[in-house]
A and B are shown apart, each in its own frame.
Chain A
Amino acid sequence: MAENNNSAIEFRNVAMSYDERVILEDVSFVVNPGETKIVMGGSGTGKSTILKLVLGLIKPDSGRIFVDGEDVTGHSEKDMVEVRRKLGMVFQDGALFDSLTVYENVGYRLFERGLPEPEIEENVCRMLQFVNLENVMYMMPSELSGGMRRRVGIARALVGNPKLVLFDEPTAGLDPPTARTILELAIKLRDLEGVSSIFVTHRMDDVKQLSSKFATIGDSGEVEFRSEDGNMCLVNTRFIMLRKGKVIFSGTDEELWQSSDPYIKDFLRKS
């Protein structure tokens, strides 16, 4: 029977395996509205599987998944279409459609809904401005750099103003300035747009920036990024760490740095 709650995303005792291999085991966590949940862990620990489960691209073997308060565990592909309208997904390498221009990629969701061209163009321009890529609108994905493709992927995910955004290692393999640009986009979404998100990463630089920087509108009306000082703590960013498909940590960044778990200490030291 369907059950509703007030969370943005909730996993309740979710388990998942491929063939004989256990991917996730008894995973439970909650993402509250407006919160960014950073999912950390080494390769193959099931981080990306969590995002695919939220989107309903794969189904869990057991447990329950809630999106925007709605139990989506047993949803059919047709039912998931409505749920996916509330979600934006940023894939690891952008996953842009090769045969479409940047404009068609970003506006894809709107073209599919049959919106009039001027409305699509306005939305696409706004989103490309948000990611600072207005000048690549009519280029093909193959003409873009890796960082630009990720930013176009972010713009595509944000069209239609989703309430929840899922990031699958969006900074992996990027140079530090480009990675910082992408992190600032995630911070802007969190602090200025109130978007809830799951941010999958294994880069400590991502963790430090997302947990210490915040975005605000300055006196001049421009977006400013500031660092939290000793007197304040970002309450809208929390962490979980996965190991062998199990959640071994859930809490704030302060709790993460103070953890006595040998695996976590080793992970933080080496990353």
Chain B
Amino acid sequence: MAGRAFMRALSKPYYVRETMIQMDSIGVGSLVIIILTGGFTGGILALQTSDTLKTFGATGVTGTLVMTSLVREMGPVLASLMIAGRVGSAIAAELGSMVVSEQVDAMRALGTDPIKKLVWPRLFALMIMTPALTLVADIVGAIGGWIVASSLMNVASSVYISSAKDALTYNDIIGGLIKPLVFGFIIAIVSCRAGLRTSGGTVGVGRSTTQAVVLSDILILAADFFLGKIILAFS
């Protein structure tokens, strides 16, 4: 499906309006849950790491650990899992409902390629918006970690900020954006496939939705392991 989607994307019409609508729905629509996810993840990372580091008298590196964990792993993975839950399920349910109510057949009968009209805008939007939302999660997480570290764990603000800045390398940042790009691709393909292969009426729509989220989550975690290994090898 991914191959077909990419090949057909090269010919007209391009469905720019549909892509923008999807970007808005995925990006702006997911902003609140991403801010909450990032903020609380940063906060809990700061809480747990500074508590452990206190034993060694090294609370000054709390910022380093929070940023490294956030940018390399927690930001991309948690943001993508949240997007898979919110957006992947919605895509599978929407396309599944269109299939069972014959809207996809009607679309084909009216001369429209459903892969181009339905899959490509979602694929493109997810591949752009997942990295963008991950960036938001990382930034909010860093702020959450700073608030917790400075207010609850008595880590000086300047120490947290300087250790956080020093922790990041270009590899971390690039790796932290490549991962959500791949995760966005996984969510789009898995969810569109589940939706378009729906059969069995409304029960089938429910089944497709569950399948889209579960399979996306598993593939994201598996891909994260292999991508982590590859990125580390290039570091």
The chain A residues found within 8 Å of chain B, CB to CB, are 52, 55, 57, 77, 81, 84-85, 87, 89, 91-93, 95-98, 108-109, 112, 114, 156
Contacts and interface: CB of A to CB of B under 8 A. Distances in A.
B108 A108 contact: no
Interface stretch (B52-60, B75-83, B99-107): B99-107
B102 A95 contact: yes
A52 B105 contact: yes
Contacts of B109: 55, 57, 84, 87, 89
A114 B14 CA distance: 12
Interface stretch (B110-118, B144-152, B173-181, B214-222): B110-118
Nearest to B115: A77
A91 B102 contact: yes
B29 interface: no
Contacts of A108: 110, 112
A81 B112 CA distance: 8
B106 A95 contact: yes
A264 B112 CA distance: 39
A109 B111 contact: yes
Contact of B101 (A52, A55, A95, A112): A95
B225 to A, nearest CB: 37
Contacts of A92: 102
A254 B43 CA distance: 82
B201 interface: no
Nearest to B114: A77
B105 A156 contact: no
A171 B102 CA distance: 17
B22 to A, nearest CB: 12
A114 B106 CA distance: 19
Interface in B80-106: 97-98, 101-103, 105-106
Nearest to B110: A109
27 contacts: A52-B105, A55-B105, A57-B105, A57-B109, A81-B111, A84-B108, A84-B109, A84-B110, A87-B109, A89-B106, A91-B102, A91-B105, A92-B102, A93-B102, A95-B101, A95-B103, A96-B106, A97-B103, A97-B106, A98-B97, A98-B98, A98-B101, A98-B103, A108-B112, A112-B13, A112-B111, A112-B112
Nearest to B12: A114
Contact of A55 (B103, B108, B112): B108
Contact of A114 (B13, B101, B105): B13
B104 to A, nearest CB: 9
A98 B99 CA distance: 12
A19 B13 CA distance: 36
Nearest to A56: B108
Given A57-B108, A87-B109, A95-B105, 14 more contacts: A57-B109, A81-B113, A84-B110, A85-B111, A89-B109, A93-B102, A96-B106, A97-B103, A98-B97, A109-B110, A109-B111, A112-B110, A112-B111, A112-B112
Contacts of A156: 110
Nearest to B109: A89
Contacts of B108: 55, 57, 77, 84
Contacts of A91: 102, 105-106
- 8 A-B pairs with the lowest CB-CB distances in the bound complex, closest first: A95-B102, A95-B106, A89-B109, A84-B111, A81-B111, A109-B110, A91-B102, A55-B109
Interface in B138-185: none
Contacts of B110: 84, 108-109, 112, 156
A173 to B, nearest CB: 15
Name, among B13, B97, B101, B110, the residue most crowded by chain A CB atoms within 10 Å (CB to CB): B110
A208 to B, nearest CB: 28
Nearest to A105: B106
Contacts of B107: 97
A57 B111 CA distance: 11
Contacts of A84: 108-111
Nearest to A89: B109
